[in-house]
Structure 1
């Protein structure tokens, strides 16, 4: 039981003293970066899906 108490005590201490939290501006900037990256990756996957669908439709039309 002592190990569990020590674990929680040290975890709390680390959270309060060693963790640095981003400022509001940094948080907004990171959020915008993640949203833009998500949109770009989504568009890339959509284009790849469209291309593979077209290639497969063409291949199926040959048979």
Structure 2
């Protein structure tokens, strides 16, 4: 159990001393950029999915006669 506690303590010490953290304003700006691109790409994926759904549905309706 002491190994686990020691590992966690060393990990937090590593985060405090050796990691360069971005300023809070930069983190907020980048988070907004990621959120916007996520929404844009999800809408694009949905749009392509709808186009293929309609194309395949039309194809099968054409075959069915």
How many aligned residue pairs are there?
63
Unaligned runs of 5+ in 1: none
Query: Is the alpha carbon distance of 1:53 and 1:10 closer, same or farther for their aligned partners in structure 2, counting shifts above 3 Å?
Result: same
Q: Which runs of at least 4 in structure 1 moved beyond 2 Å after TM superposition? A: 1-10
1:35 is matched with 35
Deviation at 1:9, TM superposition (A): 3.5
Structure 1: distance between partners of 2:13 and 2:46: 46
2:34 is equivalent to residue 24 of structure 1: no
User: TM-score, with normalisation over the residues of structure 1?
Assistant: 0.77
Q: Provide the TM-score with structure 2 as the length reference.
A: 0.75
Aligned to 2:8: 8
Gaps of 5+ in 2: none
